[in-house]
């Protein structure tokens, strides 16, 4: 309609976006480049339970600082609960209590864990007295024999620990270990057994549970499994040791949460206790300090930034802000290049799924599910079903196929198969349906061209969305989306040839029929 | 590559982005789309304006009505089933006759009543409609095409597509079904498109699957130089469609019936661009010319005259 109008709108959007960006970079010193290593993590433990209209007391271990990590900015979020933080036996414990509560209750513990660089100082620790807990019956014999076996092959305590851990993880299991571990050995059971055996051998040992502070690879806030490892006393120091791989000491990014065999949380006066611990690398310290300084000079701008959201929601936006990037790639491919795809935004959703499964594996899964789905769809065609029931039938088959694929790949030892579950199954169903209709109406060539076009678009969108730098930019500077919007508006009025038009009308460029 | 872009530009080739941005979006208000997207509505409007269309026998709107189909058809053995909201010729079923209880398609295949009903159900549930919304099925007169095209089409009904811009016929082609297109007259399904000289009504170049051809691949007869009868009345018919549909940029599809003469099959608010290949000529110069002069052409006759004068073969 009015080109000037469009151009000025695009220009205004771009200028606003770029000035906000420049302001944040030059005045508030937000980092333009992501730092390679996160040194700060947000840790959150969410304790939920159902209170039974009685006095409630819930206790939970909370992390204490170590030589490598400091625990800062602790927050205990609970409404109406009294809170006591105490230290017992080297562990810190938070106790929330209330006289009466009913229904679902949730309390939170949040903290910032920051890596500290201190020179390794050596302070000797006295060995505690070992109180061995004897085994019962046949287990006693097994333990004794196992310890003798291990001791005979080692010269010192570290050697013995290593030998013991090797025995505990031997495949197939040694008969004695099998007896001692009991059914379904978990890594926690192994660690507990190692501690008990070490104690039986007179070596002071203890169980440690903690979390893994991952860097780089894991950009998302996600549920964190609790890790289990052991510590034994040797040479006047506590030495840590991974009870699965036998590595001493444990990796630097494992941080102890509490020591001893107790459970993370305990509850009285309620039921259905559930604790989830999540960890996310906190975005660069630069951002945090920029925000701190900003809070004094320009509170409004920062109060309305993504960093003010809870970490959980921040993680969602990390992904969500990439969707416009994917959509823009799609716009370029469709309107400038002229690639055909099934469905308008299907490739972007598939690209999101690729983020979980990885590109090659994702493409493979996509092709397998769509191919099998098509075969079944062609069979259903012969049954002459009405459209909606037929779509539902294809959907059911797609879900089933994904389950089967997961099970098969799991049994083949390919753990990635599990990620298939994140594939958008409704989108897959619609893709299969559309593809089969195009196949029948316009022939296999058209169907395959559009199918490959969709895959290519999804792959390209994935590649672009997966660039860490782009992810960093849109999350720290969401105002750049305004610039993206301006570009999209401009492409929306692009009336030149698409790349594919050139092939389509190639015949018209020559003199005509010959 | 830039040479290619330049060559297409010089020829005035209209491509999809520009068609959408400067022609369909600009000249076809969204509110008018239902007129052409619903073929039943188009038909009623055309009839109200005295424009000939294939006779409508019946409309199936709900599944239960299929039971009445044999009764409504009576002893008519040939008819066409068409989704009211179909696009690109999809979902159209042409029945040429009956054999016992079965229906014979134009390619000789027989359909049972059950298979026919299944097709109707598919259409009703929106399989072929834009956006998948529930649809209606039109049961209408099967065109007996003019013998002029007999030697150059394979089954099906050849139709003539005329692009009309602001009431002025711009460019046209005849679409000839082939064995590959399964008797359908759509280029992307494998039909031949032959450009037509706007002055004389003679076919010019012809394309089949992006290649220039001079003969019909199935019958071997020449497809160029065929003179279309009553060319002037066809142009007039197309130009008159603008009077009631008021879409600035549209494609008018016309069939030549042996007994009833030219009939309007349907109107298209987003006509395809392959017509340029069939004519070996770009649309843009003609569209720009029409945009410049259309205000001076108040009557249908004047517009048709303008088209025959300015858009003759060799003007591009």
DSSP structure string for B49-65: TT---PPEEEEE-SGGG
Q: Is residue B6 part of a domain?
A: no
* Chain A contact for B205 (CB, 8 A cutoff): yes
pLDDT, tens only, A399-455: 888 888 878 877 776 655 455 556 678 888 888 888 888 887 777 888 898 899 999
Which whole number is the average pLDDT over B58-73? 85
Taking CB atoms and an 8 Å limit, are B16 and A498 in contact across chains? Answer: yes
Taking CB atoms and an 8 Å limit, are B280 and A508 in contact across chains? Answer: yes
Taking CB atoms and an 8 Å limit, are A441 and B17 in contact across chains? Answer: no
> Looking at beta carbons, which residues of chain B come within 8 Å of A442?
188-189
* Chain A contact for B48 (CB, 8 A cutoff): no
* Nearest-CB residue to A512 (from B4, B18, B205): B205
How many whole angstroms separate alpha carbon A242 and alpha carbon A444? 56
* Chain A contact for B13 (CB, 8 A cutoff): yes
Instruction: For residue B132, name the pLDDT band (cuts at 50, 70, 90).
Output: low
* Nearest-CB residue to B205 (from A388, A494, A513): A513
On whether both B113 and B253 belong to a single domain, the answer is no
Taking CB atoms and an 8 Å limit, are A509 and B1 in contact across chains? Answer: no
Cα-flanking dihedrals φ and ψ of residue B178, to 5°?
-125, 175
Burial environment of residue B209 by CB neighbours within 10 A (0 to 12, 13 to 18, 19 or more): middle
Taking CB atoms and an 8 Å limit, are A384 and B118 in contact across chains? Answer: yes
* Chain B contact for A383 (CB, 8 A cutoff): no
Taking CB atoms and an 8 Å limit, are B126 and A1 in contact across chains? Answer: no
**For residue A217, what pLDDT is reported?**
43
**For residue A327, what pLDDT is reported?**
93
What stretches in chain A show pLDDT beneath 50? 36, 216-221, 285-286, 289-290, 292-299, 417, 514
Instruction: For residue B165, name the pLDDT band (cuts at 50, 70, 90).
Output: very high
Taking CB atoms and an 8 Å limit, are A514 and B212 in contact across chains? Answer: yes
On whether both B73 and B24 belong to a single domain, the answer is no
Taking CB atoms and an 8 Å limit, are B18 and A442 in contact across chains? Answer: no
Domain finish residue from B111, B140, B169: B140
The answer to whether residues A253 and A212 touch, using CB atoms and an 8 Å cutoff, is yes
**For residue B238, what pLDDT is reported?**
93
Domain extent for B224: 14-51+145-310
The answer to whether residues A230 and A204 touch, using CB atoms and an 8 Å cutoff, is no
Q: Which residue of chain A has the CA closest to B186?
A: A442
Residue A92, C-beta contacts closer than 8 angstroms, at least 6 positions apart: A61, A62, A63, A64, A85, A86, A258
How many whole angstroms separate alpha carbon A506 and alpha carbon B8? 8
Q: Which residue of chain A has the CA closest to B209?
A: A504
Q: Is residue B118 part of a domain?
A: yes
Taking CB atoms and an 8 Å limit, are B4 and A509 in contact across chains? Answer: yes
* Nearest-CB residue to B4 (from A496, A498, A506): A506
* Stronger pLDDT, A356 or B121, i.e. the higher one: B121
Residue B170 has pLDDT above 90, yes or no: yes
Q: Provide the residue ranges of all domains of chain A, joining segments of one domain with +.
A: 137-259, 316-477
On whether both B93 and B214 belong to a single domain, the answer is no
Domain count of the fold of chain B:
2
**For residue A292, what pLDDT is reported?**
47
Measured from the Cβ of residue A271, the count of other Cβ atoms closer than 10 Å reads 9
**For residue A286, what pLDDT is reported?**
47
How many whole angstroms separate alpha carbon B68 and alpha carbon A52? 66
On whether both B163 and B294 belong to a single domain, the answer is yes
The answer to whether residues A212 and A163 touch, using CB atoms and an 8 Å cutoff, is no
Dihedral sign computed on CA atoms, order A432, A437, A443, A445:
negative
Q: Which among A385, A388, A505 is the top mutation candidate for probing chain B, defined by the most B β-carbons within 10 Å of its own β-carbon?
A: A505
**For residue A34, what pLDDT is reported?**
67
How many whole angstroms separate alpha carbon B17 and alpha carbon B205? 26
Domain finish residue from B112, B140, B168: B140
Residue B303 has pLDDT above 90, yes or no: yes
On whether both B103 and B43 belong to a single domain, the answer is no
On whether both B130 and B151 belong to a single domain, the answer is no
* Chain B contact for A498 (CB, 8 A cutoff): yes
Domain finish residue from B91, B112, B140: B140
Q: Is residue B243 part of a domain?
A: yes
Taking CB atoms and an 8 Å limit, are B1 and A513 in contact across chains? Answer: no
We find that the CATH architecture of domain A137-259 is Roll (3.10)
Report how many Cβ contacts below 8 Å link chain A to chain B: 83
For residue A452, the distance in angstroms to the closest alpha carbon of chain B comes to 19
DSSP secondary structure letters along chain B: -HHHHHHHHHHT---HHHIIIIIIHHHS-GGGHHHHHSHHHHHHHHHHTT---PPEEEEE-SGGGGGGHHHHHTT---EEEEETTB-TTTT-EEEEEEETTEEEETTS-EE-HHHHHHHHHHHHTTSSBGGG----EEEEPPP-B-GGGGGG--SS--EEEEEEETTEEEEEEEEE--TTTTT---GGGT-EEEEE-TTT-BEEEEEETTEEESB-TTT--B-SSPBPTTHHHHHHHHHHHHHHH--SEEEEEEEEETTTEEEEEEEESS--STHHHHHTS-SHHHHHHHHHHGGG--SHHHHHHHHHHHS-TT--
Taking CB atoms and an 8 Å limit, are A505 and B276 in contact across chains? Answer: yes
Beta bridge partners of A212: A254
Alpha helices in A175-217 (DSSP H): 175-181, 187-200
Taking CB atoms and an 8 Å limit, are B125 and A504 in contact across chains? Answer: no
How many whole angstroms separate alpha carbon B248 and alpha carbon A473? 45
Residue B249 has pLDDT above 90, yes or no: yes
Taking CB atoms and an 8 Å limit, are B8 and A509 in contact across chains? Answer: yes
CA angle A258, A260, A261 (to 5 degrees): 115
Q: Is residue B96 part of a domain?
A: yes
Q: C-alpha distances in angstroms, B45 versus A33, A102, B244, B264, B266? A: 63, 68, 7, 11, 11
Q: Which among A441, A496, A514 is the top mutation candidate for probing chain B, defined by the most B β-carbons within 10 Å of its own β-carbon?
A: A441
The mean-pLDDT minimum among B215-224, B274-283, B294-303 falls in: B215-224
* Chain A contact for B209 (CB, 8 A cutoff): no
Q: Which two tokens stand for residue B226?
A: 């065929």
Kindly calculate the radius of gyration of chain B based on its CA atoms and give it in whole angstroms: 19
B300-310 helix and B231-245 helix, angle to the nearest 10 degrees: 130
* Nearest-CB residue to A513 (from B26, B114, B212): B212
How many whole angstroms separate alpha carbon B250 and alpha carbon B273? 12
Measured from the Cβ of residue A77, the count of other Cβ atoms closer than 10 Å reads 12
Taking CB atoms and an 8 Å limit, are B214 and A514 in contact across chains? Answer: no
**For residue A267, what pLDDT is reported?**
84
* Nearest-CB residue to B280 (from A386, A501, A512): A512
Q: Which two tokens stand for residue B198?
A: 């706007």
Peptide bond into A249 cis (omega under 30): yes
Measured from the Cβ of residue B250, the count of other Cβ atoms closer than 10 Å reads 26
Q: Is residue B9 part of a domain?
A: no
* Chain B contact for A392 (CB, 8 A cutoff): no
* Nearest-CB residue to B11 (from A1, A388, A508): A508
Which of A28-42, B96-110, B184-198, B225-239 is predicted most confidently? Answer: B225-239
Burial environment of residue A223 by CB neighbours within 10 A (0 to 12, 13 to 18, 19 or more): exposed
Mean pLDDT of chain B: 87
> Looking at beta carbons, which residues of chain B come within 8 Å of A339?
none
> Looking at beta carbons, which residues of chain A come within 8 Å of B26?
1
Cα–Cα nearest to A465, from A365, A364, A355, A350: A355
Cα–Cα nearest to A281, from A35, A15, A21: A35
Q: Is the ipTM of this complex over 0.85?
A: no
On whether both B176 and B262 belong to a single domain, the answer is yes
Q: Is residue B5 part of a domain?
A: no
CA A391 to chain centre: 33
* Chain B contact for A152 (CB, 8 A cutoff): no
How many whole angstroms separate alpha carbon A492 and alpha carbon B85? 27
Q: What is the CATH number of the domain that holds B252?
A: 3.30.470.20
On whether both B104 and B79 belong to a single domain, the answer is yes
H or E stretch at A161: helix A157-168
Q: Is residue B3 part of a domain?
A: no
Q: What is the CATH number of the domain that holds B74?
A: 3.30.1490
On whether both B194 and B97 belong to a single domain, the answer is no
On whether both B239 and B163 belong to a single domain, the answer is yes
The answer to whether residues A1 and B26 touch, using CB atoms and an 8 Å cutoff, is yes
On whether both B124 and B33 belong to a single domain, the answer is no
Q: Is residue B120 part of a domain?
A: yes
Cα–Cα nearest to B2, from A332, A336, A502: A502
On whether both B61 and B42 belong to a single domain, the answer is no
* Chain B contact for A382 (CB, 8 A cutoff): no
């Amino acid at each position: 309609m009015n080109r000037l109008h469009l151009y000025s709108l695009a220009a205004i959007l771009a200028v606003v976006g770029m000035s906000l960006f420049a302001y944040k970079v030059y005045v508030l010193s937000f980092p333009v480049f992501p730092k390679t290593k996160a040194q700060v993590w947000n840790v959150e433990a969410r304790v939920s339970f159902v209170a039974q209209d009685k006095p409630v007391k819930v206790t939970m271990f909370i992390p204490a600082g170590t030589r490598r990590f400091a625990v800062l900015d602790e927050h205990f979020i609970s409404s109406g609960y009294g809170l006591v933080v105490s230290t017992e036996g080297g562990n810190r414990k938070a106790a929330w209590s209330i006289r009466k509560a009913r229904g679902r209750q949730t309390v939170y513990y949040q903290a910032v864990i920051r890596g500290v660089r201190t020179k390794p100082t050596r302070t000797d620790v006295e060995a505690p007295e070992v109180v061995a807990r004897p085994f019962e019956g046949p287990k006693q014999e097994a333990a004794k024999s196992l310890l003798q076996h291990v001791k005979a092959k080692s010269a010192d305590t570290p050697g013995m620990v290593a030998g013991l851990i090797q025995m505990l993880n031997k495949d197939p299991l040694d008969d004695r270990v099998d007896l001692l571990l009991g059914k379904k050995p978990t890594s926690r059971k192994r660690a507990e057994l190692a501690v008990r055996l070490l104690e039986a051998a007179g070596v002071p040992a203890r169980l440690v549970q903690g979390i893994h502070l991952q860097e780089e690879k894991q950009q998302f806030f996600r549920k964190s499994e609790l890790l289990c490892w052991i510590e034994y006393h040797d040479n006047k120091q506590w030495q840590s040791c991974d009870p699965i791989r036998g590595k001493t000491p444990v990796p630097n990014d494992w941080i102890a949460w509490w020591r001893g065999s107790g459970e993370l949380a305990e509850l009285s006066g309620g039921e259905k206790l559930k604790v989830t611990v999540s960890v996310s690398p906190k975005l660069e310290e630069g951002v945090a300090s920029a925000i701190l300084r900003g809070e004094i000079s320009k509170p409004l701008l920062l109060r309305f930034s993504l960093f003010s959201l809870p970490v959980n929601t921040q993680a969602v936006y990390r992904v969500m802000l990439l969707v416009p990037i994917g959509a823009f790639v799609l716009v370029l491919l469709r309107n400038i290049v002229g690639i055909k795809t099934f469905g308008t935004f299907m490739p972007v959703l598939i690209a999101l799924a690729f983020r979980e499964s990885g590109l090659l594996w994702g493409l493979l899964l996509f092709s397998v599910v769509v191919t099998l789905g098509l075969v079944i769809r062609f069979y259903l065609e012969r049954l002459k079903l009405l459209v909606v029931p037929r779509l539902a039938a294809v959907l059911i088959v797609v879900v089933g196929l994904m389950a089967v694929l997961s099970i098969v790949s799991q049994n083949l030892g390919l753990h990635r198969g599990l990620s298939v579950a994140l594939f958008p199954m409704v989108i897959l169903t619609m893709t299969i349906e559309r593809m089969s209709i195009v196949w029948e109406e316009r022939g296999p060539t058209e169907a395959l061209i559009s199918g490959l076009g969709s895959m290519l678009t999804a792959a390209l969108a994935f590649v672009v969305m997966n660039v860490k730098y782009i992810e960093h930019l849109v999350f720290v500077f969401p105002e750049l989306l305004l610039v993206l919007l301006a570009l999209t508006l401009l492409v929306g009025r692009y009336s030149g040839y698409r790349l594919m038009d050139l092939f389509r009308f190639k015949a018209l460029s020559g003199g005509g029929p010959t | 590559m830039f040479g290619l872009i330049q060559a297409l530009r010089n020829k005035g080739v209209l491509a999809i982005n520009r068609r959408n941005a400067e022609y369909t979006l600009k000249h076809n208000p969204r509110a008018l789309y239902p007129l052409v997207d619903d073929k039943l509505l188009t038909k009623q409007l055309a009839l109200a304006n005295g424009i000939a269309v294939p006779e409508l026998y019946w409309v199936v709107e709900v599944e239960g009505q299929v039971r009445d189909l044999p009764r409504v058809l009576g002893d008519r053995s040939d008819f066409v089933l068409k989704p009211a909201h179909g696009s690109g010729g999809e979902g159209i079923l042409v029945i040429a006759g009956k054999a016992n209880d079965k229906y014979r398609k134009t390619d000789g295949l027989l359909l049972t009543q059950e298979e026919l009903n299944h097709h109707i159900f598919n259409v009703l549930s929106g399989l072929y409609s834009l956006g998948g919304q529930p649809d209606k099925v039109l049961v209408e007169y099967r065109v007996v095409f003019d013998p002029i095209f007999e030697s150059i089409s394979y089954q099906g009904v050849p139709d003539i597509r005329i692009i009309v811009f602001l009431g002025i016929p711009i460019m046209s082609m005849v679409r000839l079904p082939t064995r590959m297109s399964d008797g359908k007259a759509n280029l992307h399904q494998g039909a031949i498109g032959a450009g037509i000289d706007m002055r004389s009504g003679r076919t010019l170049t012809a394309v089949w699957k992006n290649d220039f051809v001079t003969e019909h691949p199935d019958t071997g007869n020449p497809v160029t130089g065929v003179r279309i009868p009553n060319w002037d009345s066809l142009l007039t018919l197309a130009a008159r469609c603008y009077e009631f549909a008021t879409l600035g940029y549209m494609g008018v599809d016309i069939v030549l019936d042996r007994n009833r003469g030219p009939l309007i099959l349907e109107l298209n608010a987003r006509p395809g661009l392959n017509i340029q290949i069939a004519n070996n000529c770009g649309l843009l110069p003609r569209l720009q010319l029409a945009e410049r002069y259309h205000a001076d052409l108040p009557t249908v006759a004047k517009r048709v005259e303008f088209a025959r004068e300015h858009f003759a073969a060799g003007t591009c």
